[in-house]
Structure 1
Amino acid sequence: MENIGSGEEKGSDWGKSLPVPSVQELLRNDPQSLPERYIQLHRDRPVVPHMAVAPSSYDIPIIDFALLAKGDEDETRKLDLACKHWGFFQIINHGVAEEVLLKMKAAIAAFFELPPDEKNKYAQDGNDFQGYGQAYVASEEQKLDWCDMVFLVTLPHEIRNLKYWADTIPGFKDAIESYSIEAQKVAEELCANISLLMGMDKDGLKRFYGNTKQAMRMNYYPPCSRPDLVLGIKPHSDPDIVTLLLQDDDVPGLQIRHKDEWILVKPIRNAIVVNVGDVLEILSNGMYKSIEHRAITNKAKARLSLATIMIPYDELEIGPMECAVDDDRPRMYGNMKYLDYVRYTLGRKMEGKAHLDNTLKIKGS
């Protein structure tokens, strides 16, 4: 993404996703529509749980971010265990004002309420991964996600491509501006605490990866007449350092794979879901795990979510840090330039963690 700028002629080096029809617009014409290309193979179809029967013993960890930032030992221990054994956790008391969260969610909703012709003004273009469309569409034959999305690079300011920003929506840019800054503060504080847990000072990770970039994926999952046959997003892990997810407070849909079961992540009002990315797994030499996750749909309501990702610059060589390798934990991953890793990941359909296993994972480790 080094060559992303504010000019309309610039795009990313991450590759492209093939254009496909908007699921939202398919349903506008026929609410019962379910094209064959969206029907998952039997082995991939979800079991759609009801919230009332989701076992409470499977609730993912909840961390009080305000206490964590103050160095509270209990919260620090919970962060360590969450990153090791779950790869996911929710944070409360994170300091992002409710007004900022609500405006961000309203901006996403407003985009997907635009008429089709208006949304298409911000469609993915050529080789650019940014814009309105779908992701991870690598062939005309693969099964598709029951989801429309907008992907934007948001920080730093100088690499934004405003061509894809919906400037016709009042407050859209301001909402992103406010939330992106707050989300970056949260991500940096989390990484500072993870640095301490890895045996470094608070700036250990930051010294390694330097300045980071931030991007946002805004997701719209329409209701589906047969949610047992489709997936909002297929199982995958994230090719980043950490991801911050704003869930829909009222409509659950995120599932994570934990102990070979798919666990529904129950929304907590104004909480932020955090997950470990592939880059952090690699840097920590497997001490912390990126976890497969997916999105399911429902019959009654559309669901919105926002994934904010923290990513290194393209030229960074990623591989295990020295502090994470010793006789008890031998090197589990090789080295690769981040741009090459993310190109490989985005150039294929989602297949769990196959992209990590096929590139950097040392066989037998």
Structure 2
Amino acid sequence: MGETMELAFPIVDLSKIDSDERGATMDMIKDACENWGFFELMNHGISHELMDAVEKHTKEHYKKCMEQRFKEMVASKGLDQLVAESEIDDLDWESTFFMRHLPESNISEIPDLGDDYREVMKQFAVELEKLAEKLLDLLCENLGLEQGYLKKVFNGSKGPNFGTKVSNYPPCPKPELIKGLRAHTDAGGIILLFQDDKVSGLQLLKDDDWIDVPPMKHSIVVNLGDQLEVITNGKYKSVVHRVIAQTDGTRMSIASFYNPGSDAVIYPAPALVGEEADVYPKFVFEDYMKLYAGLKFEAKEPRFEAMKAMESNVNLGAIETI
């Protein structure tokens, strides 16, 4: 008596999608999308050898090129002198860089990356892109949308945007005073995360409680961004998550964002809109991203409201010219 129930974080064995357990596996994905906004994939089809190579190169690159820079940033901002009463809410305890894969890759232009690391990340991106597209089709099936609907919406005129944020969360002397990454929802489409299997820190908000996303070797954590909430008319919701800094161990996090193309028009799928008026706005993805840039760490609802206001202004403008 009195023990708190440990909520079972959804872990999906994707290899079962091609077996007689397909129905149960699809139900698990559906439940995770509707009630968690997150799930963890095992047997997702990306080779363990490739993942091990990505991890090895990422950790070596951090040690060689990023660690000293991070220490200098900490010292320059006085973060090494954190004191008990000064919680920091405008900064994250993370060392990070970005690479783009689609519409065109910029991996060859990123300084400090060894050729082997570039090659491994290019291969990893190809595998992640295939996995993201497979997942979008599984979501279509669960939602009763025609096959390929989500991919088509994401495509815009130039194909999707796809990129990776490579982060390391170094040990933090006062994790109670600064977050590794402040609470937010992701703006984009579907996010595939390869995270450290030894150092934890990722948490999501469920029913007002922070739940740990378990670190598991060779897993890919999937979460849904704001765009899927809009397209599914709120059936699936993007979920607030954060990273807690740890006192020991550096946590590796490689998050790949499969997002709509810049000119993709995002709106609730007609098949998912009932009698009620659309709750969600219609907008161009790039406009949403411009708004999100300044409001990432705030609630998503005002972002949706702002896009709706822009939409009605456009509509009103059109009516007046007739």
Q: What's the TM-score bracket when you normalise by the shorter of the two chains?
A: 0.7 to 0.9
What residue identity is the alignment partner of 1:324?
L
Tell me what 1:110 maps to.
60
Residue pair 1:155, 1:213 contacting (<8 A) in 2 also: yes
Tell me what 1:51 maps to.
none
TM-score (norm 2): 0.82
Measure how far apart 1:68 and its partner are.
2.5
Measure how far apart 1:56 and its partner are.
6.6
Note the alpha carbon deviations across 1:192-231, whole angstroms, 9 max, x for none: 0111122123212122222322100011111111111110
Tell me what 1:219 maps to.
167
Tell me what 1:288 maps to.
236
Q: Given the superposition, is the C-alpha separation of residues 55 and 304 from structure 1 closer, same or farther in structure 2, using an over 3 Å criterion? A: farther
Provide the secondary structure at the position in 2 that maps to 1:275: strand
What residue identity is the alignment partner of 1:57?
E
The percentage of counterpart residues that share the same residue type is 29
Q: Given the superposition, is the C-alpha separation of residues 265 and 163 from structure 1 closer, same or farther in structure 2, using an over 3 Å criterion? A: same
Note the alpha carbon deviations across 1:261-300, whole angstroms, 9 max, x for none: 1111111111110001111111000000100000001111
Q: Given the superposition, is the C-alpha separation of residues 352 and 55 from structure 1 closer, same or farther in structure 2, using an over 3 Å criterion? A: farther
Tell me what 2:319 maps to.
none
TM-score (norm 1): 0.73
Residue pair 1:255, 1:295 contacting (<8 A) in 2 also: yes
Measure how far apart 1:55 and its partner are.
6.4
Tell me what 1:351 maps to.
298
Measure how far apart 1:57 and its partner are.
2.5
Measure how far apart 1:69 and its partner are.
5.1
Mapped to 2, the partners of 1:215 and 1:117 lie a distance apart of 23
Measure how far apart 1:334 and its partner are.
0.9
* Structure 2: gaps (5+ residues): 71-87, 310-322
Mapped to 2, the partners of 1:61 and 1:117 lie a distance apart of 34
Mapped to 2, the partners of 1:276 and 1:147 lie a distance apart of 22
Residue pair 2:180, 2:243 contacting (<8 A) in 1 also: yes
Matched, 1:331 2:278: yes
Mapped to 1, the partners of 2:172 and 2:226 lie a distance apart of 31
Q: 2:16 aligns with which of 67, 78, 99?
A: 67
Residue pair 1:112, 1:119 contacting (<8 A) in 2 also: no
Mapped to 2, the partners of 1:109 and 1:262 lie a distance apart of 28
Note the alpha carbon deviations across 1:54-107, whole angstroms, 9 max, x for none: 967223211111122558100111111110100000011101100111111122
Tell me what 1:28 maps to.
none
Measure how far apart 1:348 and its partner are.
3.5
Mapped to 2, the partners of 1:151 and 1:359 lie a distance apart of 28
Mapped to 2, the partners of 1:289 and 1:115 lie a distance apart of 37
Residue pair 1:212, 1:312 contacting (<8 A) in 2 also: yes
Residue pair 2:51, 2:218 contacting (<8 A) in 1 also: yes
Matched, 1:244 2:192: yes
Q: 2:140 aligns with which of 171, 174, 195?
A: 195
Alignment of 1:1-365 (within 5 A): 57-68=6-17, 72-115=22-65, 143-156=90-103, 158-160=104-106, 162-167=108-113, 169-210=114-155, 211-327=159-275, 330-353=277-300, 356-360=303-307
Provide the secondary structure at the position in 1 that maps to 2:6: helix
Q: Which has the higher contact order (CA 8 A, sep 6+)?
A: 1
Determine which structure has the larger helix proportion and give its number.
2
* Structure 1: gaps (5+ residues): 1-53, 121-140
Measure how far apart 1:159 and its partner are.
4.5
Provide the secondary structure at the position in 2 that maps to 1:149: strand
Residue pair 1:319, 1:334 contacting (<8 A) in 2 also: yes
Provide the secondary structure at the position in 1 that maps to 2:46: coil
- Runs of 4 or more, structure 1, over 4 Å off, are 115-120
